[in-house]
């Protein structure tokens, strides 16, 4: 057996291009909505003079050094005529700016991105910005991170930092430019060096998508102009200690650094507040001295909180936040200020008896149900687009987002704090970050110069993320754990930053000398496997903590496919399984859809056209994603080898993709999305592929009793062949499960392909969960002995071809829309009006405008529902009214065996 559990996503050839990432400003890109373009003109930034104020540069003009013959001193001086330069946003890669300027065709369509010349980005580029200050009475600093890959920095014609010092996507820099800044207009210029993720500690795209030709070179976080007086306040944060399990008290320790920026001794008063709690101390500082300032409950009794407002993950409680305000004053004049938000919560993640990492928050265990995050391929930051995706995570019943590298800016974690979404940030695999430990994988070995960059990167991210209650760990390795030297650098930096949550050695089943075993597994799969795979307690099945896994391809809706691929490419998509698919992956392992397409044909029958291919894909993705989350949910409370975490690989895609996504680039939703949503509903009835048990899983905190579970089996013509009802079902809370019944192994008269309808009702008889499966008396057969790192072969497919013979089932629909403020809600009632016995399988409702284009994003109460004759379902869709763009809403109703119709929903 050849199996590489720790080396997934192996790139088969060294020629596979790799990219990087971080976060970036919005431009006129083809998104799920029409985002506002960024501020990208050459307007001068007006800097606030108030002590403690920070002002972000509003944008840049940029140009290739191949086209600039003037000296650095000239380029970085006020008044330089940057004629012919391109505008760029305040956070922008080179390519993002060029795309916003219309230089290239939409890179998300077809193979347009291949037409962008890589050579243009293999030389440095200038980033130039002007800012004004009204006076020079305060000190002035440049404060920034997010430079990819490195930069020489100039202010008003003078070099203030060299690229050897300003290197690495995550390192933080503060440059004192007081002596160079003058009243009026000032200029800052960055000479950005080309990037290579294999050579630089930046960001790479691995095998997620076709990497951007510029490798994301640029400045992808805000550059701040900071003003201050003689004493600077830095490193402000709050260390919290919550009394667990009572949650009745919490101790807060406030820490900061006071730094004398002058050549003379000074006495400063550092005062602060957290709500109604106030504190103050006097600090004597010698010339250029820095001192730690600390306030503890022993000094300030108010910092011992009784009945604290405790932060919880979504679904477990509320998300209250506290605010810290600090001020440093000299001779009664404010010199600097600092502000931090934080939450009070306790995170533990010990290894259980099986060696799996088991997270608990505030003393309550939870199954981590997450997805792997991708930013926009060109690192364009759009707060609304990010917020929409995080809302989708909650809608799907997920509680965690994993960020493998690509660690987003502060606003991302602010949103996660607000919504109660846990985050697992960490370093990435398959490039320079793991170059010392990854064997034959891509990534250069480290030199002596790389170690301080790694230490500085860890220190900067630890300081930035530590106060966010949504951050529950940092993964210092991905496919591989760091060696002893690198781990020590990371751990020293984390300790110095008062890092409050568990540090994990790797996302794979690896260990590091100090952190020990990761308690996680990375055993795949990453490509197609059947739904019953997930129930085996081996490989990627539902045991332990699987840090990244899925059945691979997630074919988007037909609407999205037509937006992202040419007619010829769409023809190839369904006709030629072995063809290279540009919109899948640069990796030769994942460059085709052959495994997926073979399974689709083997199980459902050969596609007869593009529409048939897509409808079969949606059915296949629904059943597989549902099974993945259901298996992990069912096994979470097992007494032996329980499941403790699963991260769907991936939550979303940074571009128009054919794999690894629960929703597509434009936020449209298909089988994968609604399969996850069904599996993770709060109170859920589900079928087990391994032992035919019908299980109720309760994801709510409170137990449930008096439930009734009914299971009915049907042939595809609607003939009922088995029916059993169990009353008095009781299930505990916090992910507990209860087995209601077990379906017999043999049912007389059952067709080879059949349907199972599960209905759970509460004590009042109200339906609280419905789940419909399409199954076969001929199961999928897995060849476990030939498991590879990315999949397990299937030697025989389940026979689901009988679905193709289902009679057409007419569905009627009515729809209406109401609006309140900026939000509209469309209510749709669908009814199976068939006069016989045939169910309407996977009836899908899409909200569209008058041109038939999907209105996105949208949150449905339920969708892709299956109805038997006479049954109806009322579904609601909630969305921004502005996303109709003035159109009247309409709904498009279709299904596996339902004729498509579109009707008004005004």
Q: What is the pLDDT of residue 14?
A: 31
- Each residue's pLDDT tens digit, 64-122: 999 999 999 999 999 999 999 999 999 999 999 999 999 999 999 999 999 999 999 99
Sheet with 859-860: list strands edge to edge: 811-820, 823-832, 872-880, 859-860
CB of 498 closer than 8 Å to CB of 466: yes
Q: Is residue 182 over pLDDT 90?
A: yes
Q: What is the pLDDT of residue 35?
A: 36
Look up 864 and say whether it is catalytic: no
Of 319, 306, 309, 316, the closest CA to residue 248 belongs to 306
Q: Is residue 1 over pLDDT 80?
A: no
Distance CA 148, CA 86 (A): 18
- Measured between alpha carbons, how far apart are the two ends of the chain, in Å? 60
Q: Is residue 245 over pLDDT 90?
A: yes
**Per-residue pLDDT averaged across 251-260, rounded?**
98
CB of 123 closer than 8 Å to CB of 214: no
- Each residue's pLDDT tens digit, 278-323: 999 999 999 999 999 999 999 999 999 999 999 999 999 999 999 9
**Per-residue pLDDT averaged across 857-875, rounded?**
97
Q: What is the pLDDT of residue 308?
A: 98
CB of 439 closer than 8 Å to CB of 489: no
Number of Cβ atoms within 10 Å of the Cβ of 567: 10
**Per-residue pLDDT averaged across 470-476, rounded?**
98
- Each residue's pLDDT tens digit, 343-372: 999 999 999 999 999 999 999 999 999 999
pTM: 0.94
Annotated active-site residue in 138, 215, 548, 883: 548
Element (H, E) at 419: helix 410-419
- Each residue's pLDDT tens digit, 737-787: 999 999 999 999 999 999 999 999 999 999 999 999 999 999 999 999 999
DSSP string, 556-587: --HHHHHHHS-HHHHHHHHH-TTS--TTT-SS
Q: What is the pLDDT of residue 742?
A: 98
Share of the chain above pLDDT 70, in %: 95
- Each residue's pLDDT tens digit, 2-36: 333 333 333 333 333 323 223 333 333 333 433 33
Annotated active-site residue in 207, 408, 479, 489: 479
Element (H, E) at 82: none
The answer to which of 205-209, 600-604, 811-815, 862-866 has the lowest mean pLDDT is 205-209
Of 133, 40, 46, 124, the closest CA to residue 89 belongs to 40
Q: How far is CA 271 from CA 277, 283, 292, 471, 740, in A?
A: 11, 11, 14, 28, 60
Look up 479 and say whether it is catalytic: yes
| Mean per-residue pLDDT over the chain, rounded | 94
Q: What is the pLDDT of residue 42?
A: 58
């Amino acid at each position: 057996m050849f199996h590489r559990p720790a080396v997934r996503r192996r790139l088969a050839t060294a020629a596979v291009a790799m990219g990087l990432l971080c976060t970036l400003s919005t431009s006129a890109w083809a998104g799920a909505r029409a985002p506002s373009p960024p501020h990208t003109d050459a307007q001068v930034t007006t800097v606030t003079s108030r002590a403690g104020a920070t002002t972000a540069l509003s944008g840049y003009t940029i140009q290739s050094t191949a086209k600039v013959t003037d000296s650095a001193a000239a380029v970085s001086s006020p008044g330089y005529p940057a004629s012919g330069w391109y505008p760029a946003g305040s956070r922008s890669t080179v390519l993002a700016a060029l795309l916003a300027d219309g230089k290239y065709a939409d890179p998300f369509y077809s193979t347009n991105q291949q037409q962008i010349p890589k050579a243009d980005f293999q030389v440095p580029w200038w980033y130039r910005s002007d800012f004004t200050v009204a006076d020079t009475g305060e000190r002035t600093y440049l404060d920034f991170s997010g430079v990819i890959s490195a930069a020489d920095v100039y202010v008003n014609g003078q070099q203030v930092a060299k690229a050897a010092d300003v290197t690495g996507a995550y390192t933080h820099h503060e440059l004192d430019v007081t002596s160079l800044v003058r009243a009026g207009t000032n200029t800052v210029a960055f000479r950005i060096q080309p990037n290579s993720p294999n050579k630089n500690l930046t960001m790479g795209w691995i095998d997620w998508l076709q990497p951007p030709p510029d490798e994301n070179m640029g400045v992808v976080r805000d550059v701040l102009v900071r003003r201050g007086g003689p004493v600077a306040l830095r490193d402000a944060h709050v260390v919290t200690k919550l009394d667990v399990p009572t949650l009745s008290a919490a101790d807060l320790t406030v820490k900061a650094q006071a730094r004398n920026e002058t050549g003379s001794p000074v006495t400063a008063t550092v005062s602060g507040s957290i709500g109604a709690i106030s504190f103050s101390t006097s600090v004597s500082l010698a010339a250029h001295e820095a001192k730690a300032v600390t306030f503890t409950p022993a000094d300030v009794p108010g910092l011992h909180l009784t009945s604290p407002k405790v932060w919880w993950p979504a679904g477990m409680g509320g998300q209250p936040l506290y605010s810290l305000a600090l001020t440093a004053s000299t001779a009664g004049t404010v010199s600097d200020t600092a502000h931090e938000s934080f939450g009070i919560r306790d995170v533990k993640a010990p290894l259980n008896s099986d060696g799996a990492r088991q997270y608990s928050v505030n003393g309550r265990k939870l199954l981590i149900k997450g997805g792997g995050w991708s930013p926009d391929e060109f690192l364009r930051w759009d707060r609304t687009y990010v917020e929409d995706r995080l809302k989708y995570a909650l809608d799907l019943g997920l509680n965690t987002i994993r960020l493998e590298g690509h660690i987003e800016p502060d606003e991302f974690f602010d949103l996660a704090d607000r919504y109660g979404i846990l985050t697992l940030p960490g370093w990435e695999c398959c490039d320079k970050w793991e170059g010392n430990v990854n064997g034959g994988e891509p990534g250069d070995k480290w030199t002596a110069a790389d170690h301080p960059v790694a230490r500085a990167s860890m220190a900067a991210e630890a300081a930035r993320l530590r106060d966010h209650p949504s951050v529950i760990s940092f993964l210092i390795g991905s496919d591989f754990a760091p060696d002893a030297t690198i781990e020590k650098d990371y751990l020293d930096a984390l300790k110095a930053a008062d890092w409050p949550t568990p540090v994990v050695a790797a996302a794979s089943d690896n260990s590091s000398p100090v952190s020990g075993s990761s308690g996680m597994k990375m055993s795949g799969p990453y490509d197609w496997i059947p739904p019953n795979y997930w129930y085996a307690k081996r490989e990627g099945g539902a045991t332990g903590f699987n840090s990244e896994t899925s059945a691979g391809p997630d074919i988007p809706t037909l609407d999205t496919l037509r937006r992202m691929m040419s007619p010829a490419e769409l023809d190839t998509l369904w006709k030629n399984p072995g063809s290279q698919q540009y919109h899948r992956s640069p990796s030769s392992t994942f460059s085709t859809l052959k495994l997926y397409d073979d399974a689709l044909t083997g199980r459902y029958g050969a596609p007869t056209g593009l529409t048939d291919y897509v409808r079969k894909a949606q059915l296949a993705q629904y059943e597989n994603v549902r099974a993945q989350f259901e298996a992990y949910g069912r096994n979470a409370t097992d007494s032996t080898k329980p499941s403790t975490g699963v991260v769907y690989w991936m939550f979303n895609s940074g571009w128009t993709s054919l794999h690894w996504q629960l929703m597509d680039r434009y936020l449209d939703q298909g089988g994968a999305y609604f399969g996850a949503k069904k599996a993770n509903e709060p109170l859920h009835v589900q079928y087990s592929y391994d032992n035919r048990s019908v299980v109720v899983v309760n994801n709510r905190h409170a137990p449930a009793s008096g439930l009734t579970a009914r299971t009915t089996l049907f042939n595809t013509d609607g003939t009922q062949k088995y029916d059993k009802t169990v009353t008095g079902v009781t299930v505990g809370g916090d992910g507990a499960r209860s087995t209601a019944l077990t379906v017999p192994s043999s049912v007389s008269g059952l067709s080879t392909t059949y349907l199972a309808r599960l209905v759970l009702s509460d004590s009042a008889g109200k339906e609280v969960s419905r789940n419909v499966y399409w199954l076969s008396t001929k199961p999928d057969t897995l060849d476990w002995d030939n498991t590879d790192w990315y999949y397990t072969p299937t030697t025989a497919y389940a026979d689901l071809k009988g679905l193709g013979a289902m009679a057409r089932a007419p569905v009627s629909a009515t729809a209406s829309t109401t609006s309140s403020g900026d939000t509209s809600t469309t209510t749709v009632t669908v009814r199976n009006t068939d006069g016989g016995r045939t169910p309407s399988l996977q009836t899908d409702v899409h909200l569209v405008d008058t041109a038939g284009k999907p209105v996105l994003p949208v949150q449905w109460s339920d969708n892709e529902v299956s109805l038997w004759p006479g049954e109806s379902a009322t579904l609601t869709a909630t969305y921004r009214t502005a996303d109709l763009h003035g159109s009247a809403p309409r709904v498009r109703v279709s299904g596996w065996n339902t004729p498509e119709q579109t009707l008004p929903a005004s």
